[in-house]
Amino acid sequence: MFPGQGSQYEKMGHQFLRFNSKYQDYFETAGSILGKDLLKIVNGEDHEYSLSDTRFSQILIFCLSCALFDYLAGDLSLDMSAVETVIGHSLGEYSALYSSGAYGIDKGVELVSYRGAIMSEADRTAKGMMAAILGGGEGLIENVLKDHKDKVFIANYNDYTQIVISGYKADTENAIEDLKKEGIKKIIPLKVNIASHCPIMEDVSKKLGAFIDENIIFKKPKLPFFSTTEVEYTQKNSIRNTLTRQLIHPIKWVESVELCLDRGIDTFVEIGPGKVLSGLVLRIARKNNKQVNIMNTSDLGDIEDLISNLQKRGLLK
């Protein structure tokens, strides 16, 4: 499973890239498209540009996730027949598609760079907002948002007690006040100026679709790719629509993980910066009385634990 925007942090992947310098090529390829030294940005050495800038955060998360996957699949020779499903959260679906073989690193970098650029442009013009609602039930939130119809939407169903809303800034702020009146005490505005995963992104979605039509030819996935927006396995001919619809429809992470658990999947590996998805999966599994093994690649210690775990299970060739 592959994380999305918001998982980035300064110096992410620094140790991994130090000992696996060949994967710096991924960042250099992306940097050549953007005309920036991306490693300086992620390491906090470029004081003109910020890692929180959508143009850079998305491509940097993508590059690191792809590098970590290739290290696992290539350098460590992971037994790919043991991988039942690849999934991603929002931007993470692009990394998941890369891992499935739907496109190579060059086309992936091209696609994600463009996505980051058009979403950054929307950041500056759309006057949107997103906020995480903690501790409020899905039904309660949906009921409150009826009073903000077509202006504020549910963007992410992350777990049973964490839902993200998205909409026009002023309307979202009003919705937050209404949610507080209903007794929800913990609401965290996200550090974005965009209203992603809702109909407000329709124009951005159309731009992305046109770009894909002109520039990207998808290959047949070698690993099963499960869309957390469509909540179904996506075939080659449906990838384009999955990615465009993702911008205007909510991420249904809870339902997607539940389906994985129902299929008997008990091992989840988060590939990319941070451990956000690991925490979400653990809470969803506990709620469903399921025992799961969760590993990640956030730092060298986590990678060493992952290698040890996979070796014990005979999954490294």
Query: In terms of domains, do 242 and 307 share one?
Result: yes
Query: In terms of domains, do 112 and 244 share one?
Result: yes
Q: What is the pLDDT of residues 99-115, one digit of tens each?
A: 999 999 999 999 999 99
Which CATH number does the domain housing residue 90 bear? 3.40.366.10
Which CATH number does the domain housing residue 163 bear? 3.30.70.250
Query: In terms of domains, do 163 and 19 share one?
Result: no
Query: In terms of domains, do 208 and 220 share one?
Result: yes
Domain count, the chain: 2
Give the structural domain span for 144: 127-189
Structure tokens at 212: 């894909």
Query: In terms of domains, do 53 and 95 share one?
Result: yes
Please report, in tens digits, the pLDDT of each residue of the chain (317 residues total).
Answer: 999 998 999 999 999 999 999 999 999 999 999 999 999 999 989 888 888 888 999 999 999 999 999 999 999 999 999 999 999 999 999 999 999 999 999 999 999 999 999 998 887 776 889 999 998 889 999 999 999 999 999 999 999 999 999 999 999 999 999 999 999 989 999 877 789 999 999 999 999 999 999 999 999 999 999 999 999 999 999 999 999 999 999 999 999 999 999 999 999 999 999 999 999 999 999 999 999 999 999 999 999 999 999 999 999 87
Does residue 66 belong to any structural domain of this protein? yes
The answer to whether residues 107 and 143 touch, using CB atoms and an 8 Å cutoff, is no
Q: What is the pTM of this model?
A: 0.95
Give the angle 26-29-35 at the CA atoms, nearest 5°.
130
Residue reference for tokens 């699949």: 73
Structure tokens at 91: 């931007």
Q: Which long-range contacts (CB under 8 A, 24 or more apart) does 285-294 make?
A: 285/257, 285/261, 287/159, 287/160, 288/258, 288/261, 290/261, 290/266, 291/266, 292/261, 292/266, 292/267, 292/268, 293/266, 293/267, 293/268, 294/267, 294/268, 294/269, 294/270
Q: Whole-angstrom Cα distance, residue 112 to residue 91?
A: 8
Does residue 89 belong to any structural domain of this protein? yes
Query: In terms of domains, do 222 and 115 share one?
Result: yes
Query: In terms of domains, do 27 and 113 share one?
Result: yes
Query: In terms of domains, do 99 and 236 share one?
Result: yes
The answer to whether residues 187 and 132 touch, using CB atoms and an 8 Å cutoff, is yes
Structure tokens at 267: 């091992």
Query: In terms of domains, do 145 and 208 share one?
Result: no
Query: In terms of domains, do 72 and 137 share one?
Result: no
Query: In terms of domains, do 105 and 221 share one?
Result: yes
Query: In terms of domains, do 211 and 98 share one?
Result: yes
